[in-house]
Amino acid sequence: MSIVTLTLNPAIDQTIFINNFQLETVNRAYDLKSHAGGKGVNVASLLAANGHKVVATGFLGDQNTELFDKLFAEKQIDDQFIRIPGQPRVGIKISDQQTQRTTEINLPGLTPTNEQLDAIRATIKRLAADDNQWFILAGNVPPGIPSTIYGQLIEIIRAAGKQVVLDTSGEALRYGLAASPTIAKPNLAELEQFVGYPLTSEQAAAKAGRELLSHGIKLVVISMGEHGALFLDNAQSLVAIPPSVAVQSTVGAGDAMVSGLVAAQTQGLDLAASARLATAFAAAKITQLGSNLPAAEIVEQIRADVVIRPCNAQLDVLQRGANQLKGVPL
């Protein structure tokens, strides 16, 4: 049984390393590294490294694909991407090791044709008919694709009796949530945009998350930046706080959390154990470059140090701009 990841807008992630990065002046980089990326690609890589069989699909430009081809071969990921004319988009990450902050500049992607959109729907339908239990729909929607695409694909997958994780934003998130994925993972800012008002406490965030549960979603995970992540199902509301770690790159921390969530689901873990594993994946990921985790014993040590507590009944204000956990976006 394989896990399927969908990436409609993959990218070549170029991480530029600059100490004490400054705006409006000349900055001198000391290193540059390039990786095959995009949220679903990152999730596929992390799950494959964790021992899962993975199928990766979506749209991929047919030029300059060497980094993707190498990744899929090394991680033994089943490449079922639909090639479309052009080059994959580039995502520029400026990593400042002194401040442990990352600035991201994401370029737009390629626009598939209506025929290619039909092809991705057919691909998902075929994969859902096979022995694939979990589907992860992750990342933004490329220009020219209707925001309803994730909702349409979730309906196809759920009709086949399979499970879906949704990790996106904006209108694509709105339409996707309406189709009731199994798991939704918005961050606090994305959830605020969805509900249309500020969420200034854990209780407010939990209330908004429970509204999603009332529409058929089984598990909601809300990244709250430096305040950790909120995990909600129909029985519990828990907050997971990771330990401090040495940050190499914050790129892909949220994708690692999704990977840990799905790994936990395949193991049948309860909510607290799922929260612990997902948070450990996210914290472990930021100690590494590219879409990799450190050695299993290091991940296990981080998992042991994750703090799990009930959702706070007090109205503790969540700091504005707290979409980073010690500088780490989840």
Per residue in 279-311, is it b (16+ CB within 10 Å) or e — as a string? bbbbbbbbbbbbbbbeeeeebeebbebbebeeb
The answer to whether 254 touches 167, Cβ cutoff 8 Å, is yes
Nearest CA-CA partner of 20 in 81, 75, 99: 99
Which of these is catalytic: 13, 167, 233, 255? 255
255 is catalytic: yes
Query: What are the contacts of 69-74 at 24+ separation with CB within 8 A?
Result: 70/36, 71/35, 71/36, 71/41, 71/45, 71/291
Sign of CA dihedral 216, 278, 186, 88: negative
Dihedrals phi, psi of 200, to nearest 5 degrees: -105, 10
Tokens 């330990």 map to which residue?
243
The whole-angstrom separation of Cα 98 and Cα 21 is: 9
Q: Which two tokens stand for residue 270?
A: 């309860």
The whole-angstrom separation of Cα 282 and Cα 146 is: 30
Give the catalytic positions in this structure: 255
